[in-house]
Amino acid sequence: TASGSFLSGVMLGSGGWALLNHLALLAVAVVAAALLWLAAQRRRAVGAG
């Protein structure tokens, strides 16, 4: 969207590519942690049922 493009442009202008790379890595890590948590919850539900 336009707002996402604008925000990434602001971050690129203020922090450079290193900031964008770190933020992208943080987002990937959060998603990976959420998927691991979900998998653990499903295993517990199957084991308890």
Q: How far apart are CA 27 and CA 9, in angstroms?
A: 17
pTM recorded for the entire structure: 0.70
- Residue 7: the pLDDT is 87
At 25 the pLDDT is: 97
Distances (CA, A) of 10 to 13, 23, 33, 35: 5, 13, 28, 30
Whole-Å CA distances, 9 to 4, 42, 45: 9, 39, 43
Angstrom distance (rounded) from CA 35 to CA 25: 15
What does the domain layout of the chain look like in residue ranges? 1-49
What are the tokens at 17?
A: 């590519």
pLDDT in tens, the chain (49 residues): 899 899 888 888 998 999 889 999 999 999 999 999 999 999 999 988 6
